[in-house]
Chains A and B, each alone.
Chain A
Amino acid sequence: MKGNDRRPDPAGPSDSAVLADAEADMGDGEARLALDQAFDSGTLYALRAAVQAHASQAGLPESRTDDLVIAVHELAANAVRHGAGAGRLRMWERDGAVHCQVDDSGSPASGEDAGSGGNVADRWPFLPGHGLWLVRLVADQISVFSGPGGTRAAIVFFPAGQDPSVSSPD
């Protein structure tokens, strides 16, 4: 594999682990991996079903569960469309928040700017769908990074729809 470059991203040192190949970026706190599932275009329905079941299990309200399923699906669909046609979802819970991480190992197909790296949002325009835009609307946090080894998108759903790191007065 050539995609093993783990240099910290100067723009986001705290995200230096984000491009690590195999591990979920579960942070330091206590986290329990709930789901680790590979997908391709033909198995997105199974991915949605699994995410829905685990989100309910984690105690997300129904409407937030809908939103989480929408968000994970759109990230996975982007991985299928712009990655190597497949990807991997990992989902875990920490402090009541649901974290999902979608990885694809593909370099962009057919002559796209595979080498540009950086924030992949810049080369994920809202076409042909509005996938990433939808994710931004419903997720409490989102980060998307790409490197030579592929793309990693991570989202967080907080229990009350709020980011505790922002809500604490400063």
Chain B
Amino acid sequence: MKHPTAGFIAKSGQGGFTFIEVMLAVAIMALTTLGIFRFVQSTVRAVSGSVDDTEEQLAVDRLVALVQEEFYDLPVRGQTNISGESLKLNGADFDSIEWRSRGGPGLMTTAATGEYRVKLRIQPAEKNSNKYEIGLWRRPALIETSTGLVDGGTDNDATWVPLMQHVAAMRLRYWDARLGQLLDSWRDPTVKPAFVIMSITLEGEAVPYEAVLRIPVSAVQQ
């Protein structure tokens, strides 16, 4: 007895695919899959790079906002001077700026009642590391005691608050309204700059990101 399908296969000659056809189909499928994979991979990479760029920019914006908030909250009277040092190492800027702060959430000292000397600076993320981070170095300046606020605190009491990683340089310039020009450092304790230009260069970036930080008029005109 004849097999039911045998006649059909023999008759039409195309009841199944030949080996070559199957191979060709598999090859086309593989090429298509590879193409889609490459497309998805490059898209994911591009999106990831773009998101990283945006995140870096937002990180700088957050840092700028935090420092700006500190400047707006400078004690109006008393020892409220700002000082800034300029330092260059291997062609990169490692500037720092110091001011007096009442503490608060911007300084991560919500429980503090006294005052701090605060320095925004760039330093190695770890000892002997070539990775740098920007942060706040805070040293108690006025400490609350049972008899009230007294001067106190040493460098040993100072703590470091890291704010931003993967930075290569930080440059600070100060606008002197009396001279009408930008200065690289600020040493005059009697007056404050009208604004500070902060330039942050991130790791792997060629150009810095700049922000102009306003010193409030009430703090400048004493």
A and B are interacting partners? no
